[in-house]
Amino acid sequence: MVVLDTEFFRRWMSATAAAVDREAGRLTELDSAIGDADHGSNLQRGFAAVAAALDEEPPGTPGAVLALAGRQLISTVGGASGPLYGTLLRRTGKALGDGGEVTPEQLAGALRAGVDAVAQLGGAKAGDKTMLDALIPAVGALGQSLSFGAARAAADEGALATVPLRAHKGRASYLGDRSIGHQDPGATSSALLIGALADTVGSTEEAA
């Protein structure tokens, strides 16, 4: 079984930064239809800051990696995305505690705590056309199967399923029915985060 240690979590954050950097244009394009057209550039800046901070002062535990990442996102990402992503990672990190290694079961439980904190902060639920539409099914799939590939597939499917939804939270909700027919950028970027997690597990297993 793959070992989820501090270095693993650092590589997960680096892989997320690379994925966001690669997909920043697409995220901004999605956001231009129903938001402020800055989701890609904001997250690109935020995760670049995360990668730089992790290189500058490497944390000593998996939980500390996510806590640092969350703080960086809150301080560097504008709009609602910074607090929401920051809360997700900080709360997940807190739930992991101070251990030097994490089991898939522990990560699944910690991510669920992080997702619950995001829902509480934003007042959103599944079906509201937000990042939760990718995160909730991903965490559910991981908790049920302990398969990171299943979590990735569930996140991707959840993001795609936001297309026919009407937005009930965030700036997109101001558009009413005009938000229908567009994929939610937050759900799309959340799927990138989960996809980067699956990729990091895969590369770790290949190296073992």
Whole-number Cα distances in Å, 202 to 11, 15, 117, 151, 195: 12, 12, 28, 13, 10
pLDDT in tens, 3-29: 899 999 999 999 999 999 999 999 999
Whole-number Cα distances in Å, 168 to 33, 89, 172, 179: 16, 24, 8, 9
Q: Indicate the domain borders of the chain.
A: 4-207
Instruction: Share the mean pLDDT of the chain.
Output: 94
Just give the CATH number of 4-207.
Answer: 1.25.40.340
**Phi and psi based region of residue 129 (left: phi greater than 0; alpha: psi -120 to 50; beta: remaining):** left
pLDDT in tens, 99-151: 999 999 999 999 999 999 999 999 999 999 999 999 999 999 999 999 999 99
Q: Which residues contact 69 (CB under 8 A, 6 or more apart)?
A: 13, 50, 53, 54, 89, 93
Answer yes or no: are the C-beta atoms of 90 and 49 closer than 8 Å: no
In this predicted structure, the answer to whether residue 80 has a pLDDT above a threshold of 90 is no
Share of the chain above pLDDT 70, in %: 98
In this predicted structure, the answer to whether residue 91 has a pLDDT above a threshold of 90 is yes
Predicted local confidence at residue 170, as pLDDT: 75
Predicted local confidence at residue 167, as pLDDT: 85
pLDDT in tens, 156-181: 999 999 998 888 877 776 677 777 98
Predicted local confidence at residue 4, as pLDDT: 96
Answer yes or no: are the C-beta atoms of 134 and 191 closer than 8 Å: yes
In this predicted structure, the answer to whether residue 36 has a pLDDT above a threshold of 80 is yes
Helical segments of the chain, H only: 6-34, 39-56, 62-76, 81-96, 104-122, 132-145, 148-160, 185-207
169 or 73, which is more confident = 73
Report the DSSP beta bridge partners of residue 5: 101
Q: CA quadruple 77, 78, 81, 83: dihedral positive or negative?
A: positive
Answer yes or no: are the C-beta atoms of 11 and 66 closer than 8 Å: no
Predicted local confidence at residue 208, as pLDDT: 64
Task: Measure the CA–CA gap between 37 and 141, rounded to whole angstroms.
Answer: 31
Predicted local confidence at residue 52, as pLDDT: 97
Whole-number Cα distances in Å, 193 to 31, 99, 166, 181: 17, 22, 24, 23
Predicted local confidence at residue 7, as pLDDT: 96
